[in-house]
A = this chain, B = another copy of it.
Amino acid sequence: MTDQPARAGGRRPGTSQTRDAILDAAMESFTSQGYTATTIRGVARAAEVDPALVMHFFGTKDGLFDAAVRSRGLPLRRLSEVVPGDPDGLGERLVRRYLTLWEEPETGARLQAILHAAAASEAAATLLRGFLTEEVLRPIAKTLEIDHAETRAILAGSSLIGLAMVRYVLKVDALALLPPETVIAAAAPAVQRYLTGELDLD
């Protein structure tokens, strides 16, 4: 793995720096241009390597996307940080942290890239489903100590994803122009009800 081809005049460092450079270029392209417009050739050019090397490391665009998202950490992982604590305040903590992530320009752009990819590619949807389940739903469900905890967690998650679709992807004014605190106050009780309220899920 140390004698990878490098384009004449291009980068020729050790394997792990090359791999990192490709992943940096890939994340930059997925974020700024979107999943659809990103190509292996374009990423290779930005990383100053041969496209064959990108394919050697990552196989396909989906493989590159998967590796780029994993290597940079999914921003959603930071959602699970707010899980410990009073269960009655979990709805508000989740909505607040989630909106904060979306409002940060860099994190928001990455989240948007991930949602975009999940809608555009079955493989990216599978990746996001795995992340959501392992790193968000399970940790939340584990703290709830309540029946149907996973179903409750995913219902809460659907509220959050819907807010992001309307506010940050579709950008419908009536929701996009509200101050974050107003959205948090409106949505937190809905999320809290899904997590701990009365639901007939049998």
* B-binding residues in A (CB < 8 A): 34-36, 115-116, 118-121, 125, 128-129, 132-133, 137, 150-151, 153-155, 157-163, 165-167, 169-172, 174-175, 178, 182, 185-187, 189-190, 193-194, 199-201
Contacts and interface: CB of A to CB of B under 8 A. Distances in A.
A84 to B, nearest CB: 22
Q: Which 3 A-B pairs have the closest CB atoms?
A: A162-B162, A119-B119, A158-B162
Contacts of A174: 133, 137, 150-151, 153-154
A193 B191 CA distance: 12
- Copies of this chain, complex-wide, total 2
A165 B167 CA distance: 15
Nearest to A121: B36
Contacts of A186: 155, 194, 199-201
A137 to B, nearest CB: 7
B190 A194 contact: yes
A170 B201 contact: no
Contact of A172 (B132, B162, B178, B182): B132
Contacts of A163: 158, 162
Given A116-B120, A119-B120, A185-B200, 6 more contacts: A119-B119, A151-B174, A155-B175, A158-B159, A161-B165, A190-B190
Contacts of A158: 159, 162-163, 165-167, 175
Contacts of A201: 178, 182, 186
A128 B119 CA distance: 15
23 contacts: A34-B120, A118-B119, A118-B169, A119-B119, A125-B170, A125-B171, A128-B170, A132-B170, A133-B172, A151-B175, A151-B178, A153-B174, A154-B166, A155-B186, A157-B166, A158-B162, A159-B190, A161-B162, A161-B166, A162-B163, A182-B201, A186-B201, A190-B194
Nearest to A149: B174
Q: Which of A121, A162, A167 has the most CB of B within 10 A?
A: A162
